Amino acid sequence: MEFEIWWLLGIPVFFALGWIAARVDIKQLVSESRSLPRGYFKGLNFLLNEQPDKAIDAFIEIVKLDPETADMHFALGNLFRRRGETERAIRVHQNLLSRPDLPIEQQVHAQYELGMDYLKAGLLDRAEETFNLLVDTQYGVQARRALLEIFQREKEWRRAIAAAEGLMESGAGAYHKEIAQFYCELAQDALVHMHSDEAKALLDKALQTDRKSVRATMLCGDALKAEGDIEGALKTWRRVEQQSVPHAALVATRLMDGYRAVGRPQEGVNLLRSYLEEASSIDLIEVVFKAVIELNGVDAAKQLVVEELRRNPTLLGLDKLLEARLMDAPANVWEELSMVKNLVHGYTQKLARYQCSHCGFKARQYYWQCPGCSKWETYPPRRTEELNVMN
């Protein structure tokens, strides 16, 4: 009982102590807020109202009045960089680094911001030099990511591989897909220079890194074809179906040309038609359509397009059907049908594009790396209209 009474007596004491502590904190907060320049709040208000030009003017005034304000320099430099005024951003951060009284932590921060300025300005040599100095600091992960971006821009694929592996070792995420793509870039260059053995060795590393790399499998087939092994190339290209059925459209032309080269074109048509049943694609239809006309005639090609149009009704498919109809249309309807075909074709050109799933960038051809956001493997292997129909 005595213990409980003491606790009851202590409650008011604890309450009083808490009240005093709160009053002290409030007074300190008010004192600190009063010590801030009025321009700080003006600049902050402009930022909140998305008026960066006026915010910059306000922050410049503060820096003039108090050149020692490091945080304001950081804010000002970042605003300049975001606006594309990289020269001014560089000067701000260089000015910070020149201060002998700047604490080590803020020196490292300023160095990182300066590296980002160089990167934004396209001064890749200076950016690389700056980020290399930061690898063993608290900005190590950010520096490695920036170095990876630099090596990709410069197409230094071996250095990009090393940078990506370093990021994975530091626990900064998985980069298997990117590393496989870097090996593919090296292999593609080797194939251009007719070094098929080197290309195959690089592609083995790509597939060891990412077993699902469609591009690596396609290039393996290309390497075998370059050596004259068409049967081996066909066998390799067919593995794309096992990795991703929709991506079979990307290898359709290679397969059809390969089967023609070995004297078995009908086998190629049958294979591609089986792909159509699993994953219809206008690119796949295009290849099969031409092959069917060549082997089985116009009527068979028209029937193929009609079947696909029923299964997947798209304007791209209609455009292909009209093309087939025009091949043997009577003279009295040919002109009218041709007008309809031209109208539909003109509209479908806007739809017959690939679209990046990350940034939305559209392109007429398929890219492994998006030209818009530089992300890898963000393009689905189908055109935009086909994706809309599927959704």
Tokens standing for residue 356: 């990046």
Rounded to whole angstroms, how far apart are CA atoms 9 and 6? 5
Rounded to whole angstroms, how far apart are CA atoms 359 and 354? 12
Closest CA to 342 of 363, 326, 354: 326
Residue 220 known to bind ligand = no
**In sequence order, what E strands does 91-205 have?**
none
Q: Which residues contact 390 (CB under 8 A, 6 or more apart)?
A: 382
Rounded to whole angstroms, how far apart are CA atoms 169 and 118? 26
Q: Which residues contact 163 (CB under 8 A, 6 or more apart)?
A: 144, 147, 148, 151
Q: Which residues contact 284 (CB under 8 A, 6 or more apart)?
A: 248, 249, 252, 272, 275, 276
Rounded to whole angstroms, how far apart are CA atoms 237 and 195? 20
Closest CA to 126 of 141, 111, 104: 111
Measured CA to CA in angstroms, residue 362 lies from 237, 246, 380 at distances of 27, 19, 11
Measured CA to CA in angstroms, residue 379 lies from 160, 225, 282, 312, 386 at distances of 22, 26, 16, 21, 13
Beta strand 354-355 with 362-363 is antiparallel
What are the φ/ψ torsions at residue 353 (nearest 5 degrees)?
A: -130, 155
Taking the CA atoms of residue 355, residue 360, residue 361 and residue 365 in that order, the dihedral angle to the nearest 10 degrees is: -10
Residues 102 and 96 sit within 8 Å (Cβ to Cβ): yes
Q: What is the DSSP letter of 245?
A: G
Q: Which residues are annotated as a binding site?
A: 356, 359, 370, 373
Q: Which residues are annotated as a binding site for Fe cation?
A: 356, 359, 370, 373
